[in-house]
């Protein structure tokens, strides 16, 4: 994108009266440059777009691993091409860390430790995440790893909730991204204490991709539990439960896995804190 095009777009994202956008801009103005860790979800992609369109030097870094859906990586690459990002795609190496693979309650700490250490080896710029205020209400051991490495959270500092982030994404013209459901990593589908296995994550991705055709944009989770494979459905998606049962049962049979049925979606259902 040309410098002129960037300048033309700035007023649309920092217009008078948009207090949150102004607050985010004020936070970003403290930094001469940033390295934004982009997962492919609405938060980090919105942050990277906002920062880049303001004209500040931004390196966008996306990590690939068996826990990252292929569609998330494709989404990042598409937006990077449209926006003209300086994009680096790297591996994180968390699967080489037995502490991560053991899937303890603080698994995310080891994931983010590997991620941020890898990013720090690629750039000297301050590292920024897309965390928002809503993320602070959960048990998020990854935030501990971030604090230890002085990762900054511009949206938290600007007082932005998830709803605010989606509103900002819409104002940026990122309509499809603004409406995306939550996109946690595939490892979040595995119950605490069950070892993280790349084959399990590939199976989860396959099931969720197949089921997504029944309810595009809906809430559907394939869970690996101690009882077997469980599919969780949002309230609206319960209308498709019979079709979900048939598809999930067939895929489990083909893969030699135990299918344990469907149930209502519950955020953080696989997390067992001991």
pLDDT digits (tens, 9 = 90+) for 145-165: 999 999 999 999 999 999 999
* For residue 203, pLDDT beyond 70: yes
Mean pLDDT of 135-145: 89
CA dihedral 31, 33, 39, 42 (to 10 degrees): 60
The predicted pLDDT at position 92 comes to 86
At 14, the pLDDT band (50, 70, 90 cuts) reads: very low
The SS3 of residue 91 is strand
**Per-residue DSSP letter, 135:** G
Across 245-263, average pLDDT: 96
Checking DSSP bridges between strand 229-233 and strand 127-128, what pairing results, if any? unpaired
pLDDT band at 35 (very low <50, low <70, confident <90, very high): very high
Confidence of residue 10 (pLDDT cuts 50, 70, 90): very low
Average pLDDT, the chain: 90
Q: What are phi and psi of 204, to 5 degrees?
A: -60, -45
- Structure tokens that stand for 55 in this block: 């004209």
Which tens digit of pLDDT belongs to each residue from 216-250?
A: 778 899 999 999 999 999 998 898 899 999 999 99
39-53 mean pLDDT: 97
Report the pLDDT value the prediction gives residue 9, as an integer from 0 to 100. 42
**Tens digit of pLDDT for each residue in 96-135?**
999 999 999 999 999 999 999 999 999 999 999 999 999 9
Residue 268 pLDDT greater than 80, yes or no: no
Question: Cα dihedral angle (51, 121, 108, 43), rounded to 10 degrees?
Answer: 10
Please state, as a whole number, how many other Cβ atoms lie within 10 Å of the Cβ of residue 118: 17
């Amino acid at each position: 994108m040309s410098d002129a095009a960037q300048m033309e777009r700035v007023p649309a994202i920092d217009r008078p009266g948009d207090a949150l956008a102004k607050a985010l801009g004020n936070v970003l103005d403290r930094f001469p440059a940033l390295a934004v860790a982009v997962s492919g979800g609405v938060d980090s992609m919105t942050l990277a777009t906002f920062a880049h369109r303001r004209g500040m030097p931004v390196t966008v870094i996306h990590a690939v691993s068996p826990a990252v859906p292929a569609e998330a990586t494709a989404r990042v690459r598409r937006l990077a091409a449209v926006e003209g990002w300086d994009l680096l795609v790297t591996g994180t190496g968390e699967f080489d860390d037995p502490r991560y693979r053991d899937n303890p309650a603080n698994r995310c700490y080891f994931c983010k430790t590997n991620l941020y250490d890898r990013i720090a080896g690629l750039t000297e710029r301050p590292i920024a995440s897309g965390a928002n205020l809503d993320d602070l209400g959960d048990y998020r051991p990854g935030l501990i790893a971030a604090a230890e490495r002085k990762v900054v959270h511009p949206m938290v500092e600007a007082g932005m909730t998830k709803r605010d982030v989606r509103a900002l994404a819409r104002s940026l013209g990122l309509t499809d991204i603004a409406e995306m459901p939550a996109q946690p990593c595939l490892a979040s589908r595995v119950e605490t204490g069950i070892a993280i296995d790349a084959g399990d994550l590939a199976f989860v991705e396959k099931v969720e991709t197949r089921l997504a055709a029944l309810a595009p944009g809906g809430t559907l989770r394939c869970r690996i539990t101690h009882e077997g494979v469980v599919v969780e459905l949002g309230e609206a998606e319960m209308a498709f439960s019979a079709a979900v049962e048939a598809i999930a049962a067939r895929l489990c049979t083909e893969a030699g896995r135990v299918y344990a049925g469907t149930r209502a979606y519950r955020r953080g259902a696989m997390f067992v804190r001991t």
